[in-house]
């Protein structure tokens, strides 16, 4: 097991941990889903989802400060060994599913855009071996991967300047021409891109002076919101709603506009560089699942990690075809929304009530 003192990170690194886990495979194609429900008002959905997740970050910090444990410890403390253990297993499976969905969706992108006949077995094995190597080195290394996963590929942001000269800002008008229900449905779809912040519930004890890290967590979420907002405005301005309904990966379609003297198909460079973006997502999700299972079952992390990696590899090989990958994303989205928006507020409320009861007894 990792010692918390030797694996602790500085508070400012939480900025990169939060931001890196929110900017993953979802940013390559989130536009189509939310525009389907909210149309040209989809930019509002990005802001609403960003604010909602800032509130959730505040809730998580309130919960973690109150209990001063990770999620597994909180469950054991509030619900006992058996019922708390069952709740912890649900979260462990969720984080494992999150990592599996990210890596399998990325493979599907590579198949659709670059190599239609690529061997999924071999490609999955190479990617998961890379994930295992990073995760097995400990939390500080995972945090370093998150840092590099934000800094190195950040140059890709500047490639979205190219479509700006072609966009029609009139496509954003009229404002607020969709119902509250339509915006709510689109917000649910948008939430999938932000869901990874739940890993904070596991690495909170590994932050030095964790109370100082909350502002960095909010700033990381705000940066994610700004990137999503900029991209959805460019996308709505460039594509019509009818065109966008035919582009599954709208961000990759925008990269086709990029023209440089030394490269003809920039989307190939973008997809290849995106390995550095998804790697933190997968490593942090896998680390959270492994850490949770280790704390729950008292097994060595190294053995649990090998088991988790094997499960992830088998899942990547068994899930075949775009339809199954989309269903995997739908299951993840539904599960994540229930856990994050439903369970975390209830857990915070129950924790506060139990604290008051204990205070009165004392």
Q: State pLDDT tens for residues 225-284.
A: 999 999 999 998 888 777 887 788 888 888 888 777 777 778 888 888 889 999 999 999
Q: Which residue in 210, 280, 217 sits closest to 69, CA to CA?
A: 210
Q: Which residue in 224, 193, 195 sits closest to 336, CA to CA?
A: 195
Q: Name the residue with tokens 């941990």.
A: 17
Say yes or no to pLDDT of 39 above 50: yes
List, for residues 204-227, the tens digit of each pLDDT value.
999 998 989 999 999 999 999 999
**Phi/psi zone of residue 263: left (φ > 0), alpha (ψ -120 to 50 degrees), beta?**
beta
Q: Give the pLDDT score at 4.
A: 57
Question: What string of DSSP letters covers 110-123?
Answer: HHHHT-TT--HHHH
Q: Which DSSP category does 225 fall into?
A: H
The CA-based angle 87-91-95, given to 5 degrees, is 170
CATH number among 3.40.50.300, 3.90.1200.10, 3.30.565.10, 1.20.1740.10, domain 4-351: 1.20.1740.10
Mean pLDDT of the residues in the chain? 88
Give the separation between CA 269 and CA 259, rounded to whole angstroms: 12
Q: Give the pLDDT score at 189.
A: 85
Question: What string of DSSP letters covers 27-77?
Answer: GGTHHHHHHHHHGGGHHHHHHHHHHHHHHHHHHHHHHHHHH-S-HHHHHHH
Give the separation between CA 84 and CA 296, rounded to whole angstroms: 9
Domain boundaries, the chain: 4-351
Q: Give the pLDDT score at 153.
A: 87
With bands split at pLDDT 50, 70 and 90, how would you rate the model's confidence at 177? confident
Give the separation between CA 245 and CA 33, rounded to whole angstroms: 8
Q: Give the pLDDT score at 309.
A: 94
Say yes or no to pLDDT of 286 above 70: yes
Q: Give the pLDDT score at 93.
A: 94
CA distances from 60 to 30, 81, 197, 346 (A): 25, 22, 10, 11
Say yes or no to pLDDT of 44 above 70: yes
Q: Looking at 196-321, list the stretches that DSSP marks H as alpha helix, in order from N- to C-terminal side.
A: 200-203, 214-238, 241-244, 250-255, 266-273, 275-297, 301-318
* Predicted structure pTM score: 0.91
Question: What string of DSSP letters covers 99-161?
Answer: HHHHHHHHHHHHHHHT-TT--HHHHHHHHHHHHHHHHHT-HHHHHHHHHHHHHGGGGGGGGGG
Cα radius of gyration rounded to whole Å, the chain: 21
Q: Which residue in 76, 74, 294, 51 sits closest to 191, CA to CA?
A: 51
List, for residues 301-346, the tens digit of each pLDDT value.
889 999 999 999 999 998 887 788 888 888 888 888 999 999 999 9
């Amino acid at each position: 097991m990792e010692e918390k003192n030797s694996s602790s990170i500085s508070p400012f690194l939480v900025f990169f941990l939060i931001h890196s886990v929110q900017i993953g495979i979802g940013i390559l194609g989130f536009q189509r889903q939310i525009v389907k429900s909210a149309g040209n008002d989809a930019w509002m959905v990005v802001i609403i989802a960003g604010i909602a997740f800032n509130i959730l970050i505040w809730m998580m910090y309130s919960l973690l400060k109150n209990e001063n444990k990770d999620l597994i410890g909180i469950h054991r403390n509030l619900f006992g060994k058996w019922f708390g253990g069952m709740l912890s297993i649900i979260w462990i499976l969720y984080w494992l599913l999150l990592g599996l969905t990210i890596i399998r969706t990325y493979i599907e992108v590579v198949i659709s855009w670059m190599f239609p006949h690529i061997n999924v077995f071999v490609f999955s094995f190479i990617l998961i071996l890379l994930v295992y190597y990073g995760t097995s080195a400990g939390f500080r290394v995972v945090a370093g991967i998150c840092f590099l996963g934000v800094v190195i590929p950040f140059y890709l942001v500047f490639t979205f300047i190219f479509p700006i000269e072609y966009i029609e800002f009139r496509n954003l008008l009229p404002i607020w021409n969709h119902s509250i229900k339509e915006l709510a449905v689109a917000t649910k779809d948008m939430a999938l891109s932000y869901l990874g912040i739940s890993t904070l519930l596991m690495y909170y004890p590994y932050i030095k002076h964790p109370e100082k890290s909350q502002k960095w967590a909010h700033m990381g979420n705000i940066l994610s919101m700004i990137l999503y907002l900029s991209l959805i405005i460019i996308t709505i301005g460039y594509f019509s709603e009818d065109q966008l309904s035919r582009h599954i990966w709208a961000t990759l379609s925008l990269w086709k506009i990029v023209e440089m003297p030394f490269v003809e198909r920039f989307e190939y460079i973008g997809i290849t560089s995106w390995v550095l973006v998804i790697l933190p997502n997968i490593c942090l999700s896998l680390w959270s699942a492994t850490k949770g299972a280790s704390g729950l079952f008292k097994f060595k992390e190294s053995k649990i990690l090998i088991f988790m990696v094997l499960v992830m590899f088998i899942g990547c090989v068994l899930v075949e075809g775009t339809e199954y990958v989309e269903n995997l994303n739908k299951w993840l989205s539904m599960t994540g929304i229930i856990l994050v928006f439903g369970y975390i507020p209830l857990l915070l409320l129950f924790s506060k009530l139990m604290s008051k009861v204990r205070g009165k007894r004392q």
